[in-house]
Amino acid sequence: MTTLLQQIANGIALGATIGLIALGYTMVYGIIQLINFAHGEVFMVGAFGGLATYRWLLPEGIRGDWYLSLPLMLLGGVVVAVTVALLMERFAYRPLRNAPRLAPLITALGVSIVLQEAIRLWFPDADAAQPFPKAFLDAQIKIGPISLRATQLLLIAVSIVLSVLLQTYVNRSKMGRAMRATAQDPDTARLMGINPNRVIVLTFAIGAALAGVAGVLYGIDITNVDNAIGFQNGIFAFTAAVLGGIGSLRGAVIGAFVIGLIKTLGGQYMPGGTQYDYVWIFVVLILVLVFRPQGLFGEAERVRA
């Protein structure tokens, strides 16, 4: 029983990370129907941005004080992630906006490889996993029978707060309404005076900012990062977005928690153990796509292909 509860807690912590990434996938897909395959790499780049901030920008004096260094690292990670995302939107995706559907997907694949390789080649020593600074309380917190790292609790809290904020922003603000309008019908939205390019850029930026935050927090939690974390977590996040119903913000977050639970519980209880935990996620992905492609919360007509 303790194991079960503990694994559920771990799953929720993993789900929190995945959820932050999945929001970016689902928003971009909702607006321009692009599977931004490189979004996972934005998460990875964000983590390295935070690491770089800590290594080269933070003065020695404040490195020990997490309440100073953590916000600065988050800021660094977000800035890097957003910059990369905007560059790729401008130079890789925008020219292909009216191209056949396969073209942007293949481009996204290429961008993903480029980002992974760029980090491996040009981030100092990044050809091996890099230790990530412990920029938060280094403690285990006991809640009844289960114990979680303080960093895992931080991830869960940040993830929930940010998704609620995002949901509110999209539902209440003027720009949020513009986003929803563009997602529903870009042409009509344009007639209503909405600049679709601005909406798209903003969407990419918000998604990247969330991924950047996730990257830094993930690094702090796992305590080391390499250039492969983006691909794996990106696929998990994509699965979560599909599971929740791609285009739906609420769905992405809930899907992410489900995926987190599948991974930890599958690793614990399914045959093959943790070696195959990855496989169960893909099995779920295939089953969802085949039997309910609109996902748990998606609307059927949203699924265009």
Residues that bind another protein (CB under 8 A): 35, 92, 95-96, 99-107, 109-114, 116-118, 121, 235, 238, 242, 272, 275-276, 278-279, 282-283, 285-286, 289-291, 293, 303, 305
CB of 56 to another protein, least distance (A): 23
Nearer to another protein, 106 or 139 (CB): 106
The structure tokens listed for 239 are: 């699965």
Measured at the alpha carbon of residue 38, what is the angle toward residues 33 and 41, in degrees to the nearest 5?
Answer: 145
Residue 241: Cβ-neighbour burial (10 angstroms; 0-12, 13-18, 19+): buried
Nearer to another protein, 76 or 104 (CB): 104
Nearer to another protein, 25 or 218 (CB): 25
Phi-psi region of 144 (alpha: psi -120 to 50; beta: other; left: phi over 0): left
Nearer to another protein, 191 or 305 (CB): 305
From CA 42, how far away is CA 133, in angstroms rounded? 20
Give φ, ψ of 132 to 5 degrees. Answer: -105, 135
Q: Which residues contact 271 (CB under 8 A, 6 or more apart)?
A: none
From CA 231, how far away is CA 6, in angstroms rounded? 26
Single-letter amino acid code for the residue at 62: I
Give Cα separations from 257 to 25, 45, 84, 163, 264 (angstroms).
Answer: 15, 23, 27, 13, 11
Helical axes 66-88 vs 39-52, angle rounded to 10°: 140
CB of 249 to another protein, least distance (A): 20
CA-based nearest residue to 212, from 116, 22, 74: 74
CB of 26 to another protein, least distance (A): 14
Nearer to another protein, 68 or 289 (CB): 289
CB of 22 to another protein, least distance (A): 14
CB of 271 to another protein, least distance (A): 11
Nearer to another protein, 42 or 209 (CB): 42
CB of 84 to another protein, least distance (A): 14
CA-based nearest residue to 78, from 37, 123, 42, 116: 42
Nearer to another protein, 18 or 285 (CB): 285
Running DSSP on this structure, what letter comes out for residue 175? H
Q: Which residues contact 58 (CB under 8 A, 6 or more apart)?
A: 69, 72, 73
Nearer to another protein, 4 or 105 (CB): 105
CB of 117 to another protein, least distance (A): 4
CB of 203 to another protein, least distance (A): 17
